[in-house]
Structure 1
């Protein structure tokens, strides 16, 4: 297994990880930003006001994008298993 193959494999894994995290992180970021604007405008500084909507939005994002996330992860795993003989032999 060459260093180029290891770097390529690590890069693919990081791209897949970024794709899988994106829906959850972006949803949390957008909801958090909206709640922060609301809190700044109304000067209501309640912890649950920012926590509960984020949890609900992230839960909805997981339900909506969970199927796509699972397919992406399974496809990457299948690709990895198919490439294992070539990686082990060094070809």
Structure 2
């Protein structure tokens, strides 16, 4: 196995990880920013007001995009497993 193959495998896995994290964390970040702006404008300092909307949005995002994310993940691992003879030999 050459260093180029290892770096290609690592790059594919890393890009998939970044994609999965950004799809899940992105909407939560936007909702957190909106809630923080609302809290700053109204001077309400309630902890659950900032936590609960982010939790709900994160769970909803996982429910909506979960199938697509699992498909991407299984495609990567299927490609890796089927290419084992080519990678090793």
- TM-score calculated relative to the size of structure 2: 0.96
1:10-41 C-alpha deviation (Å, 9 max, x unpaired):
00000111111122110110010000110110
Give the match for residue 77 of structure 2.
Answer: 77
SS of match in other structure, 1:45: coil
The answer to whether 1:26 aligns with 2:21 is no
Aligned residues: 89
Give the match for residue 64 of structure 1.
Answer: 64
Q: 2:85 and 2:21 mapped to 1: Cα distance?
A: 29
4+ residue stretches of structure 1 with deviation over 3 A? none
